[in-house]
Amino acid sequence: MSAIDTLPPLSQVIADHGLSARKSLGQNFLLDLNLTAKIARQAGDLTECDVLEIGPGPGGLTRGLLAEGARRVLAIEKDTRCMPVLADIAAAYPGRLEVINGDALEIDPLSHLTPPIRVAANLPYNVGTELLVRWLTPKEWPPFWQSLTLMFQREVAERIVAQPGSKTYGRLAILSQWRADARIVMSLPPEAFTPAPKVKSAVVHLSALEKPRFDADAATLSRVVAAGFNQRRKMLRASLKGIAPDIEDRLLSAGIKPTERAEQVSLEQFCALARAVKLD
Ligand code: SAM
C-alpha cells in the first residue's frame, strides 16, 4: 500500500502517544490510511472547501481529508490526549488544519469556517445522531453545510435512507430526505476499526438541497411525523387524533387513507398532510 503522506503510520502514532482507546469517548479508531482517504473522497471535491471534522482522534480521517486536498480542515476533538498528535499533522500541512479541543455538542464552529463548507466525521453513535439532527434542523435553509459524510452504525445508516414500507422507515428518514439527498456510500466491517466494535458500520453521504423537496412548515411536519411514528402500529386516524379534531378529513385531503399506518406514508404525503394541518 502506498503512503498517503510522510507522517508515521497510525499504529505507531498511537503507540508513541499512548492513545489507548477509551470506551467512554466511543473511541474506535480507523488505522488504515488508504481507507480513511477513501472515506474522504466520498465527501466530494474538497479543494475549494473548508471541512468541519468532528472527533479526529489520532487523525486518520484528518490525514485523509488533507491528503485529498481539503482547502482547510477545522477539527473538534474532546480528548486532550490527541492534541500533540493533531499538532504534528497541522505542522505537516501548514495553514490548513485548525484544531479545537472541546465538546462538539457545545462549540459553535461557524466563526472558524469560510463557506463553502462540508462536514466529515467518524463519531460515537449517540453524538453522531444528535449532531445529524441539529445539522438537519437549522432555523434557515439552505444550511451552513453543502454535504455531510458521516460514519454510523449500519442500522442507523439504514434508518437515514429508509423508504416507506420498511421497518427502518421513520422520523430520521423523513428528516434526512426532506431537504437532502441521502445515500449509503460505504459499508465497513467491525475489523476495520481498532478496537473492533460489536456492530457493522456504514458511511452516509447527505447533500443539502437548495430548498425542501416538498413544501411544508418544518415544525408542523415534525409534529405530524412524531405523532405518527410514536404509535407506528396504530392507524393514522388514531395516532394523529391529537393533532386536529377533524384529522380524518385532513388525511383524506392530503391523499392519505385514515386507516393507513405511518410507515406506509411517503415523504410527499407527510408534507401534504403538514400543509393540510397548518391551514388554520
Ligand atoms: N476520527 C477518528 C478515526 O476515524 O479513527 C476517531 C473516531 S472515534 C469513533 C470518535 C472520536 O470522537 C474520538 O476521538 C473521540 O474522542 C471523539 N469524541 C467523542 N465525543 C466527542 C464530542 N462530544 N466532541 C468531540 N469529539 C468527540
In 3-state terms, what secondary structure has residue 89? helix
DSSP 117: E
- What does the pLDDT read at residue 278? 79
pLDDT at 177: 98
**Through-space distance between the first and last CA atoms of the chain, rounded to whole angstroms:** 63
- Whole-number Å distance, alpha carbon 173 to ligand 1 midpoint, is 24
Going by alpha carbons, the residue nearest to atom 19 of ligand 1 is: 25
Checking if the pLDDT of 106 tops 90, the result is: yes
Per cent of the chain over pLDDT 70 is 99
Give the least confident one: 6-10, 22-26, 114-118, 124-128. Answer: 124-128
pLDDT the model gives residue 126: 83
Q: Which of 34, 51, 77, 198 to mutate to test the pocket of ligand 1 (most atoms within 8 A of CB)?
A: 77
Q: Among 22, 36, 127, which residue has the most ligand 1 atoms within 8 Å of its CB, making it the best to mutate?
A: 127
pLDDT at 279: 59
Cβ-in-10-Å burial (0-12, 13-18, 19+) of 95 comes to: exposed
Cell digits of residue 110: 461557524
pLDDT in tens, 167-220: 999 999 999 999 999 999 999 999 999 999 999 999 999 999 999 999 999 999
- Provide residues with CB under 6 Å of ligand 1: 25-30, 54-57, 60-61, 76-79, 103-105, 122-124, 127
Q: What is the pLDDT of residues 186-201, one digit of tens each?
A: 999 999 999 999 999 9
List, for residues 218-252, the tens digit of each pLDDT value: 999 999 999 999 999 999 999 999 999 999 999 99
Is the pLDDT reported for residue 1 higher than 60?
A: no
pLDDT at 2 > cutoff 80: no
Cα gap 277→280, rounded to integer Å: 7
Condensed to tens digits (0 to 9), the pLDDT of residues 124-162 reads 888 999 999 999 999 999 999 999 999 999 999 999 999
For residues 50-75, give the mean pLDDT. 98
- Best mutation site among 35, 61, 62, 78 for ligand 1 pocket (most ligand atoms within 8 Å of CB): 78
For all residues of the chain together, what is the average pLDDT?
96
Query: Can you tell me the distance from the alpha carbon of 42 to that of 65, in angstroms, rounded to the nearest whole number?
Result: 10
Report whether pLDDT(277) > 80. Answer: yes
Q: Beta-carbon neighbour count of residue 256 at 10 Å?
A: 24
pLDDT value for 280 = 60
Contacts of 242 (CB under 8 A, 6+ apart): 227
Average pLDDT over residues 42-62: 98
Nearest CA to ligand 1 atom 14: 57
